Structure 1
């Protein structure tokens, strides 16, 4: 995995963490905490599951500096510029695509079976957002029926990546195709409201 992908993922997720603080009356410290949790939370859980020690941001502290810089710049920028209402969703979509495949690839590098790599890719992609939403006192996006194809998009892209890696092990384009699948599915779902069926039960008449 080229290092720039993980750094870009950290920056994008940190930006989404800052944007998620809107309306929560947080100061700069609270916003930075939210950004850091969003940026490194999923990768931390992935590394702990894999037994990768130390976790990625301790081994390479530049990830933390990247998240801090992105958070502070965004914190200042939004005070002077009006961002589109969909800015958080778009930033989050890019974070899902980048971290979802980065997590899947790292899991494969540790010799995990394909299905485990897919699950850890999903964890890497969505866990930071879950922690972000819990900290801001909201039901995580991944559990909201009205949020269109969230973890499902990561799962689909991760499966495509794992299959391509098995069929074409020498290819360098498989990770980018996997990211494209996640991003296209998520953006298409946002555009056309594509969702999975919602759970409900048929009640018996008394």
Structure 2
């Protein structure tokens, strides 16, 4: 089994587990767990393959669906043993993001040969699973949290792509990208690392924005 396939299965399993943990927080039934696990574990890679115009990976190899289902079932029967499920969720998400940002970059590079596309597909694969999970669970999206998230996926994909361009072996390139992504995301979770935020006035409520501006009264 190749390194990329190991990363692929690991990414699916980890993201599927975070989806099932989100289902546990919503106290869903067994089928709900499996649905959340499948959508979270397979969603990012599905969108990546559709964008690249390639056969969707889990249709070509249904083992990925089984991996997501097993992860979801495992969490269903074991989540009650975990006291801090949300903290486990975000740490598993960090590991999945690190693995999938590298895998997505590798698949983008293999499909197009373009470093730019490799970085885009790496970010897409690493981040979209968590976004889909939060939308389904009606939780605040990871994209809206203040600490670093997309930047970690960007760093992982870019690190892998840079090492690949320098002719480094696959295991070196993949390890460098994954460690870089996990270090950034882990630091963000543990230390609250974040990028500078937009500090101008916040946007107005849509209803307020649609009102015509008030005309100033003329003096005199």
TM-score w.r.t. length of structure 2: 0.85
The aligned counterpart of 2:151 is 152
Question: After superposition, where does 1:1-206 map in structure 2 within 5 Å?
Answer: 2=3, 3-53=5-55, 55-83=56-84, 85-145=86-146, 148-202=147-201
Structure with more helix by fraction: 2
Matched residues in 2 for 1:19 and 1:84: separation?
Answer: 7
Q: Identify the structure with bigger relative contact order (alpha carbons < 8 Å, sequence gap 6+).
A: 1
SS in 2 for 1:20: helix
| Residues 74-83 or 44-53, more deviating | 74-83
| Cα deviation 1:131-184 (Å, max 9, x = unaligned) | 111111123212322xx2111011011111111101125453111110000011
Matched residues in 2 for 1:96 and 1:163: separation?
Answer: 18
TM-score w.r.t. length of structure 1: 0.91
**C-alpha deviation, 1:84, in angstroms:** 5.7
State the aligned residue count.
200
Matched residues in 2 for 1:162 and 1:24: separation?
Answer: 38
Q: Could you list the runs of 5+ residues in structure 1 that have no partner in the other structure?
A: none
| Cα deviation 1:97-144 (Å, max 9, x = unaligned) | 011100000000012421221111111011111111111112321232
Matched residues in 2 for 1:194 and 1:66: separation?
Answer: 32
| Residues 178-187 or 111-120, more deviating | 111-120
Q: Could you list the runs of 5+ residues in structure 2 that have no partner in the other structure?
A: 203-220
| Cα deviation 1:60-82 (Å, max 9, x = unaligned) | 10010011011101110123454
The structure having more radius of gyration, on CA atoms, is 2
SS in 2 for 1:168: coil
